[in-house]
Structure 1
């Protein structure tokens, strides 16, 4: 049996995905065969494997960090939030229904745990090490009985647990101690220690606190990772990081020159796969910003309507905020618009969801910018298409319930183009370097910009650089000898129990 580790966190967004990816890259550079694993993920950012299965984008990124092919084994349960407090349950890469949080936690966990453990064992049989990522916090005691991703997984699989805390949020020592104290004795016996993430300043200032934490808990701190901008990994949710460090959540970019291309992305509700624009943000001279007001897109050279898990809901949101009228006006003026997946669907003439697969609203008229009629069906399209556009080869992936009937326009990546408006179901197409440059040149020409894409920007190479930076973080700032002993030998013996309320 291979060795393993569970990377948990004091909170969501504490840095579990980054640390898991960093450990994978550190290990594979040492010649260790390693694979990532997340039993249950909740995210609208997903990916299609070569098996035709849907998994979280974060696990696909971690597989790249480990230099292995992404597999459905790495993320057997994926929850995709939708409207009405429901989430689509994706089991072994394919949707099996929609459930509320109460319904999900109400009775299938034993069956799901069996599936999860089978996947983990398959990965263990094929690799020297499996690095597992938890979800949220292991101290969510209201969900402990049905937990299959944090301490429930660790106990079932005998995994040591490393808890990551984001010190940039403040209160990291209390979070470490409180996380441990809320666990029962059996779970505490698996929690081996802590890892501080996103520290700014002189690390020696932490020494008294780390020493006190060890005295109170009997657990070591395995490292202090410094804060770093622009790590550029695929997040589960959030709009912050790009490969060149652009702060994408802000729409308050300063004045830019004529040689800079400005791209506005509509921040639609239930946005999915916003990582589609990472490749654009990686280009020198491109400013990417997310917007939710019509005036914020006024000076944009390109507006992107991204994917969404609620196409009709996103359409209504665009209408309420005046963005729908602004998009129609842009198209009439011949200014570039790109719709991707759900964004493509709502740019069409009509959306038929009579079976209420997604919208719960039946049918709706789209913005009418493309000659496309969309019908939602229960079977989800999961594909890895390859084709050509603008004279360049393009690779992408598709994840959608909507079937598009394209009734005119110029063919474009299985979608269409009419004038300055493009639409496609293909996610990830902009990661194809030649196509991205050709597309940006077309946008710049239409917008009248003197913008020339950099001829040597390689998105894949930039992603590799970022993954190496994650590996460097672990190698340079974690106690890798102690970390390897933990991975190799399992939870330390005789870890003290810390009762709630202590000291």
Structure 2
């Protein structure tokens, strides 16, 4: 098989929309008959994805693989960096924890090993696919890092990939950021940039045309497309920067108020994404006790450092407010790290996540957790007995720690060989290690109808299918990008790149 043709998408800064453009191109190329894979050499994210063989990669690459209608592997993201606090991160290599490292130590001692991992993983992918869409990180113009970076132009050189540069017009100064980025690149790297995409544009594109003409004349680089801002796109984000877009206020027009705690090291916050599409639900992000109010459903999401984040809950006053809500009609739901926090104690005797060896939990459920050196990463399925209904559910588990339910607490999910989580007798307090639990349509419907019943509201049946909605979102994103970029010119670039190899 001929080796794959690569295309690299870089951005002028973080959150320029690189992941979305890569996702769109994966879908477009797949629709057009090319066997396509995503690739990101090194990803820094607390939202992760579990492959079918139980390995952990960046969530964006897993989602991009789904958009390309292929099965994700660790070769698509060989290095995952998960911040743990105190300028330290857990380094995940090919889906398994390698070690915790400070940024300076990682940059100094891991570079050669990382470069070899990148070369080997890309080489394997290149023999399996027709096209590989590569995602960069941050900006290629971070000149303080460029001598030992492993994710932008160094990868373009390794793979001999043409580069499309993405700029976010919504933040303002898009021409300055594009021109500035190009001018800060080394001449060899600048020649790799075959075009730019202006992303998240609102309004009449004809008003932008003078700027586009000026840019092409000034830089000699063509504008491949102007992609409009896309509202309500149901594709999971990976960078917690997007949480800043979510409101912290209530919405009286929605019947169900859902609050999600945002502690400092929140992870896998996309667990709550299905609620954004429910017509009767308003989701808000809560960072302090004053914002909490009295929600109908309070979600304690995952955490990369459970002890640090539960300490934040105690110190901020949120813990006391959560305990108050536990005596009212609010449904409290903890997932992974949030589940651990709901127990009586979290211990980290080997300082795996924290130099603090013990912290009190919220004591909402009979649970004791010990953080361990071994990380559980697995796709799971089981059955929930909830509101007199047995519901098949599936999800994925990512956690450093073992939790023991004491005093004969009632398990929440029954699996073939074990149980998971716990649920109170009145079914108002629930904890589980299952990420993706709310992506199960039947369970989500029963849960929301329980809340509706508590509020004296009629049930809603036949809620939307999350899987179907996401497939529609992939197609919608692909259609918008297809209609607003010069796809024929882009294909010509890739054909030329293939013939020159």
TM-score (norm 1): 0.93
**Structure 1 residue 463 displacement after superposition:** 0.7
Change (3 A) 1:449 1:130: farther
Name the structure 2 match of 1:156.
158
Alignment of 1:196 with 2:198, yes or no, is yes
Aligned-residue CA RMSD (Å): 1.7
**Structure 1 residue 240 displacement after superposition:** 4.3
* Structure 1: gaps of 5 or more residues: 242-246, 494-503
Q: Which runs of 4+ in 1 moved over 6 A?
A: none
**Structure 1 residue 371 displacement after superposition:** 0.4
Alignment of 1:127 with 2:129, yes or no, is yes
Name the structure 1 match of 2:416.
none
Alignment of 1:404 with 2:399, yes or no, is no
**SS across alignment from 1:400:** strand
Alignment of 1:315 with 2:322, yes or no, is no
* Structure 2: gaps of 5 or more residues: 414-419
**SS across alignment from 1:126:** coil
Name the structure 2 match of 1:362.
357
Name the structure 2 match of 1:379.
374
Q: Does the CA contact (< 8 Å) of 2:15 and 2:241 recur in 1?
A: no
From 26, 29, 38, the equivalent of 1:27 is 29
**Structure 1 residue 4 displacement after superposition:** 1.2
From 83, 97, 100, the equivalent of 2:99 is 97
- Aligned runs of 1:469-488 on 2, under 5 Å? 469-488=476-495
**Structure 1 residue 163 displacement after superposition:** 0.2
Following the alignment from structure 1 to structure 2, what is the Cα–Cα distance between the partners of residues 295 and 454?
34
- Aligned runs of 1:263-412 on 2, under 5 Å? 263-389=258-384, 390=386, 391-407=390-406, 408-412=408-412
Following the alignment from structure 1 to structure 2, what is the Cα–Cα distance between the partners of residues 230 and 199?
15
Following the alignment from structure 2 to structure 1, what is the Cα–Cα distance between the partners of residues 378 and 460?
29
**SS across alignment from 1:490:** helix
How many aligned positions are there? Answer: 485
Following the alignment from structure 1 to structure 2, what is the Cα–Cα distance between the partners of residues 12 and 449?
45
Alignment of 1:255 with 2:261, yes or no, is no
**Structure 1 residue 451 displacement after superposition:** 5.1
Name the structure 1 match of 2:422.
416
Following the alignment from structure 2 to structure 1, what is the Cα–Cα distance between the partners of residues 242 and 161?
31
Which range is displaced more, 157-166 or 228-237? 228-237
Which range is displaced more, 316-325 or 41-50? 316-325
Q: Does the CA contact (< 8 Å) of 1:261 and 1:451 recur in 2?
A: no
Name the structure 2 match of 1:425.
433
**Structure 1 residue 429 displacement after superposition:** 1.3
**SS across alignment from 1:482:** helix
Q: Does the CA contact (< 8 Å) of 2:347 and 2:357 recur in 1?
A: yes
Name the structure 1 match of 2:446.
438
Name the structure 2 match of 1:497.
none
Change (3 A) 1:156 1:239: closer
Q: Does the CA contact (< 8 Å) of 2:393 and 2:437 recur in 1?
A: yes
**Structure 1 residue 76 displacement after superposition:** 0.6
Which range is displaced more, 82-91 or 317-326? 317-326
Deviation digits for residues 37-94 of structure 1 (CA, Å, limit 9, x no counterpart): 1111000000111111101111111111101111111111100011111011001001
Q: Does the CA contact (< 8 Å) of 1:261 and 1:449 recur in 2?
A: no
Following the alignment from structure 2 to structure 1, what is the Cα–Cα distance between the partners of residues 495 and 271?
37
